[in-house]
Chains A and B, each alone.
Chain A
């Protein structure tokens, strides 16, 4: 066999071997459906009643519940922090609502931030591997096993809602890990509206924690169901959304 023809055959075989996973990916695999107890919605949404939230200054219950439930690492270096739900100053979250005459303490008022589960999420548009996608019920999901860690979604998110694991998150877990899968270094993660809990018929961890201490500042439900508590709040209040002019249509609403 001549060198050239050997190389050609070797090249073709390699290309063939490379094609196998493509075929595998195209063949439909097993589907896992949520059980009968699962909460089902057409368009999940959250209302954050910031007045109720601010009535309990310094409260961290929802943040702790979320980060504990999802094994979000407690990274010491603030530059490498991983967070799904946290507080920012009002002037940073809603700069268009801040006038020069507001007292400094109002500008600095803590405001809850999390993934907005947009109707048209820029992160989903830019992801080169479909590691993040929008479910039919509106939740923007993340597959940390497919993510290649290019951080294009972080760059594309107008809300700063996404975190990258700059270091091994398993080295800084908050106590013993829960059932929720821990992640590896080099992938992006964020709030998922607790899909794993919805599948078991339970509300998101933050919502449950906030209700458990009788604050009830976080209301979660189906915005497409007129009978839901979330729908009642959406109809009866002057609600704010973050950066509505960008056309992403966030589904986390604020009563400020």
Chain B
């Protein structure tokens, strides 16, 4: 199967070379962080988690969103997703891989990573998060491998796959719920101490993941003879429209509860996020950009005539991904630390080195994704030829 990834045109190898170069740059910078310590990042005594853990949180959402393709296809036998399902499953695998890597590069003592298994601590949500993420990775590898092999051989997938698919649906919900619980169970951080966090994570995941999948499906159609189907892409657009609406609604609920109650511990975080606190406002312009992008995407998604236009759907999808990345991949984690429990405002901004390490991890995810998609596309092209 893997041999299909070893043949390709100029564009394929250029992409692979660029990703590999980014990966090497990231690795070199990580080795520096490994030898010097996390002081090379923008993190501080007050802001303990930053870009790494934010990316982890965002990518858990992307991984979980595969369920938005898997569920209609396998449970509701929605045939139009037949060609898209494999792209969704193959997106989940590198997404979980990058999640695990983002946690790894965030560790102060990465050599002791096995301590998590040697001294399992069921009281810690992090323990459950690692179990659910690794379990989800295994499930997705097994399912996509089996369905893919069956498809290539022209026979239905083995019976056990169905059971695994059903298991993977609540499991996908669980990975993002448990990830939200990492934050939502902490009395120290009023910003995250909200029951809406897990539902909000899921809504934003089911908007950003399928948006990403729309973009990938359109790229696949452009660069190959494999067409995931117009109906499938349009249906994904509909899913994004619902999920993004729910997400914006949830954000509104959170803002209302915090701002109307007026409890300073809750209000201050939102003040910092949107207008700045004690003269520190580095995230504010980003958050307003996120809001504008969210509004734009909602207009494009909710008006059926606009949504069915594929060019506008691309604009909407890019807006959704960008808006939610800013919200989750930049603002959500850091703002929990500002102000600190002692009322100090220490700002966080990632360093260049930190950003390159993040790009390196994403490049590795991109490499795995490219190889998996290449195999899927080449096999499809062969079957259809």
Interface residues of A (CB under 8 A from B): 21-22, 25, 77-81, 88, 91-93, 95, 113, 122, 124-131, 146-152, 154-160, 163-168, 184-188, 246-248
Bound Cα distance A246, B341 (Å): 12
Q: Is B89 an interface residue (CB 8 A)?
A: no
The reply on B186 being an interface residue by CB < 8 A is yes
Can you show 6 pairs from A to B with CB atoms below 8 A apart? A122-B188, A131-B115, A146-B112, A164-B45, A167-B39, A184-B109
Q: Complex: how many Å from CA A114 to CA B43?
A: 22
Type the 1/0 row for B162-201, where 1 means its CB is closer than 8 Å to any CB of A. 0000000000000000000010001111000000000000
Q: How many Å lie between the Cα of A134 and that of B189 in the bound state?
A: 22
Pairwise interchain contact B121-A127, C-beta atoms closer than 8 A: yes
Q: Which residues of A contact B123 (CB under 8 A)?
A: 124-126
A129 to B108, Cβ gap below 8 A? no
Q: Are A146 and B343 in contact (CB-based, < 8 A)?
A: no
Q: Chain B: which residue is nearest A22 at the CB level?
A: B118
Main secondary structure on chain B at its contact with chain A? loop
A146 and B115: CB pair below 8 A? Answer: yes
B residues contacting the other copy or chain, number (CB 8 A) = 44
- A149–B187 CB distance below 8 A: no
Q: Judging by beta carbons under 8 Å apart, are A129 and B121 in contact?
A: yes
B45 touches A167 (CB 8 A): no
B116 sits at the interface (CB 8 A):
yes
Instruction: Say whether A166 contacts B109, CB under 8 Å.
Output: no
User: Are the C-beta atoms of A130 and B119 separated by less than 8 Å?
Assistant: yes
Chain A positions within 8 Å of B337 at CB level: 155
- Does B106 sit within 8 A of A, measured CB to CB? yes
Nearest 5 Cβ contacts at the A-B interface: A149-B108, A186-B108, A79-B44, A166-B39, A158-B188
Nearest B residue to A188, CB-CB: B108
Given A130-B121, A149-B109, are A88 and B188 also a contact pair (CB < 8 Å)?
no
Query: With A131-B115, A247-B187 in contact, is A150–B126 under 8 Å at CB?
Result: yes
Interchain CA distance A79-B39 in the complex, whole Å: 9
The CA of A147 and the CA of B109, in the complex, are separated in Å by: 7
CA distance A164 to B48 in the complex (A): 8
Whether B119 lies near A186 (C-beta < 8 A) is no
Contact: B108 with A92, CB < 8 Å? no
Interface contact A156-B38, CB-CB below 8 Å: no
Residues 89-125 (chain B) with a chain A CB within 8 angstroms:
103, 106-110, 112-119, 121, 123-125
A160 to B338, CA, bound (A): 12
Q: Are B187 and A246 in contact (CB under 8 A)?
A: yes
A122 to B38, CA, bound (A): 24
Chain B residues near A187 (CB, 8 Å)? 108-109
Question: Counting CB contacts under 8 A, is B152 at the interface?
Answer: no
